[in-house]
Amino acid sequence: MSDTHAQTVRFVRQEMMPERAPPIREAGAVKWLRENLFSSWLNAILTLVSLYAVYYILSHVLPWMVFGIWDANSLTECRAVRDELYGENASVACWAVLADRWQQLMFGFYPSEFYWRPVLAVVVFLVALGPILFSGFPRQAIWFSAASPFLMYLLLWGGTIWGPLVVIVGFVIGVVAFQLLAKVAGNIVGGLASIILPILFWLFAAGPLASALAAALPIGLTFVPSDDFGGFMLSFIIGIAGITLSLPLGILLALGRQSDLFIINKVSVAFIEIIRGVPLIVWLFTASLLLNYFLPPGTNFDLMLRVIIMVTFFASAYIAEVVRGGLAALPRGQYEAADALGLDYAKSMRLIILPQALKISIPGIVNTFIGLFKDTTLVVFIGLLDPIGLSNAIRATTDWNGIYWELFVFIGLLFFICCFGMGRYSLWLERKLQTGHR
């Protein structure tokens, strides 16, 4: 038996073979290139063509950007420096226009001695975003976020401090009215009172009260009119105001469109369809030209405020449809579960339905915000000097007549930074909330 076994089992290894590196074609960068760029003859041709296109573009753009001229006071002087350094008609950028006019591109005609105010307003805005966008902030910091719009208004426009404080009093009146009347007459009556009473207070009592307080205690900052606003600051103000105001209004419109109450449903549908069915530029012309015909003679309705209102309405109509899509995507069982728990309409929406619908709607909402922020450049057609309008004004001067790409590259970079930041936050929030199905 032992001889037979020795003949059938020729060799038995007593130890494991040592590990060896995989073939070069199956590991590292070579594997990635072979699988992603050269997996077939067609992909190989497309890769080579793409590499040549990238090389061609960069070989022309990078020297134009890197070897640009920063020290000049006019386009003529910039061209003279170019001819001296690189030869006549060399292709280099004249970045000196940015060094000479960057204040106008950023702040418009805002007084230079007050530049610290819009800069501080941006800092306040970024700090106020923390408790809203990130959960790691203390909950008490949300009060600073609630007060930040009034603080930013005071910093940007200036004037007496009593104006923003009186506006805050109107919100306090609305909250108190809702808490008192909701317990006695129900949520509907309390909700209507929380809207009507603040509006009446702002229309008839806020102005005289603020004027009386300003006369008694003249505390505040130097007033800067809206006509001095311009550049990227103007786009930032209109974009942020539109984004901040359009989200809650869009959610209310989405809920109104799904409401069983006839009047609320039809008003919401009419608002959404009319606003969404007309281009934004038409609404901006309406705010600029036609709205004054419907106001009493002598009424001074600030143009920037009219633009912010129209931009807010326009964005809210799109957000309403995005949120309605999120609401429609929820299974019917979620609504039935809220009813089974005995929750009323407000609590079921706040605790169960809207959190899930908004998670589904994050990509669409952020996409609307990005489009809104970029559409702020349309205000140039109604006479507001946004970055595009100021670039046209700069190119119309004798010093910089003929400059072109440098200004638009700078403006595009500013908008890209803001829009890219919103997009990256959207992706981070989706991953954090695990939106969608795996």
Using the predicted structure, report yes or no on whether residue 212 has a pLDDT greater than 70: yes
Together in a domain, 240 and 377: yes
Compute the mean pLDDT over every residue in the chain, rounded to the nearest whole number: 86
Together in a domain, 182 and 316: no
Q: Going by C-beta distance under 8 Å and a sequence separation of 6 or more, which residues neighbour residue 130?
A: 137, 141, 145
Q: Which two tokens stand for residue 361?
A: 């709607």
Instruction: Domain of residue 243: give its range.
Output: 229-328+354-438
Is residue 118 in a domain? no
Together in a domain, 205 and 237: no
Convert 62-110 into a string of H (helix), E (strand) and C (coil). HHHHHCCECCCCCHHHHHHHHHHHHCCCCCCCECHHHHHHHHHHHHCCC
- Nearest CA-CA partner of 338 in 353, 326, 324, 320: 353
Using the predicted structure, report yes or no on whether residue 222 has a pLDDT greater than 70: yes
**How far is 284 from 382, CA to CA, in rounded Å?**
7
| DSSP code of residue 398 | S
Q: Is residue 18 exposed (0-12), middle (13-18) or buried (19+ Cβ within 10 Å)? A: exposed
Using the predicted structure, report yes or no on whether residue 325 has a pLDDT greater than 80: yes
Together in a domain, 399 and 314: yes
Residue 342 and residue 271 in contact, taking contact as beta carbons nearer than 8 Å:
no
In this structure, how many other beta carbons lie within 10 angstroms of the beta carbon of residue 122? 14
pLDDT (mean) for 267-283: 93
Residue 68 and residue 194 in contact, taking contact as beta carbons nearer than 8 Å:
no
Together in a domain, 189 and 234: no
Q: At what angle do helices 96-107 and 387-395 cross, to 10 degrees?
A: 140
Using the predicted structure, report yes or no on whether residue 434 has a pLDDT greater than 80: no
Is residue 296 in a domain? yes
Residue 97 and residue 403 in contact, taking contact as beta carbons nearer than 8 Å:
yes
Is residue 90 in a domain? no
Domain boundary among 188, 221, 254: 221
Number of domains comprising the chain = 2
Together in a domain, 380 and 315: yes
Together in a domain, 247 and 216: no
Query: Residue 160: beta bridge partners?
Result: 220
- Nearest CA-CA partner of 221 in 110, 107, 102: 110
pLDDT in tens, 349-406: 888 888 889 999 999 999 999 999 999 999 998 888 889 999 988 988 888 988 888 9
Q: Which CATH number fits the domain that encloses residue 315?
A: 1.10.3720.10
Domain boundary among 171, 194, 221: 221
- Nearest CA-CA partner of 172 in 206, 142, 145: 206
Q: What is the pLDDT of residue 191?
A: 76
Q: What phi, psi does 12 have (nearest 5°)?
A: -125, 120
**How far is 188 from 181, CA to CA, in rounded Å?**
9
Q: What is the pLDDT of residue 438?
A: 45
Together in a domain, 359 and 433: yes
In this structure, how many other beta carbons lie within 10 angstroms of the beta carbon of residue 283? 20
pLDDT (mean) for 178-200: 80
Q: In this predicted structure, which of 230-244, 272-286, 302-316, 341-355 has the lowest mean pLDDT? A: 341-355
Is residue 288 in a domain? yes
- Dump strand ranges (E) for 182-282: 220-221
**How far is 316 from 108, CA to CA, in rounded Å?**
28
Is residue 84 in a domain? no
- How far is C-alpha 399 from the geometric centre of its chain's CA atoms? 34
pLDDT (mean) for 343-353: 84
Q: Work out the angle at residue 409's Cα, subtended by the Cα atoms of residues 406 and 415, and round it to the nearest 5 degrees.
A: 145
Together in a domain, 374 and 293: yes
User: Would you list the DSSP string of 236-249?
Assistant: HHHHHHHHHHHHHH
pLDDT (mean) for 231-240: 93
The tally of CA atoms less than 13 A away on the side-chain side of residue 96 is 19
**How far is 239 from 231, CA to CA, in rounded Å?**
13
Residue 212 and residue 278 in contact, taking contact as beta carbons nearer than 8 Å:
no
Using the predicted structure, report yes or no on whether residue 4 has a pLDDT greater than 70: no
147: amino acid identity, one letter: A
The maximal CA–CA distance of the chain, rounded, in angstroms, is 120
Q: What is the pLDDT of residue 234?
A: 94
| DSSP code of residue 228 | G
Q: Work out the angle at residue 106's Cα, subtended by the Cα atoms of residues 102 and 112, and round it to the nearest 5 degrees.
A: 80
pLDDT (mean) for 323-332: 89
Together in a domain, 196 and 238: no
Going from the C-alpha of 291 to that of each of 51, 275, 276, 299, 353, the distances in angstroms are 54, 15, 19, 11, 38
Together in a domain, 435 and 363: yes
Higher pLDDT, residue 138 or 109: 109
Together in a domain, 302 and 432: yes
pLDDT (mean) for 190-216: 86
Q: Please give the model's pTM, rounded to 2 decimal places.
A: 0.84
Domain boundary among 187, 221, 255: 221
Is residue 300 in a domain? yes
- How far is C-alpha 149 from the geometric centre of its chain's CA atoms? 16
pLDDT in tens, 51-109: 999 999 998 888 888 888 888 888 889 988 888 888 887 888 899 999 889 999 999 99
Among 293-302, 325-334, 359-368, name the most confident range.
359-368
Q: Which two tokens stand for residue 371?
A: 């489009």
**How far is 364 from 145, CA to CA, in rounded Å?**
24
Tell me the pLDDT band of 295, cut-offs 50, 70 and 90: low
Tell me the pLDDT band of 243, cut-offs 50, 70 and 90: very high
Q: Which two tokens stand for residue 172?
A: 């306090």
**3-state SS assignment for residue 221:** strand
Is residue 207 in a domain? yes
**How far is 413 from 79, CA to CA, in rounded Å?**
24
- Nearest CA-CA partner of 338 in 357, 351, 321: 351
pLDDT (mean) for 20-39: 73
Q: What is the pLDDT of residue 229?
A: 93
Element (H, E) at 315: helix 303-329
The tally of CA atoms less than 13 A away on the side-chain side of residue 254 is 26
pLDDT (mean) for 190-211: 86
Is residue 192 in a domain? yes
Q: Which two tokens stand for residue 213?
A: 């307080």
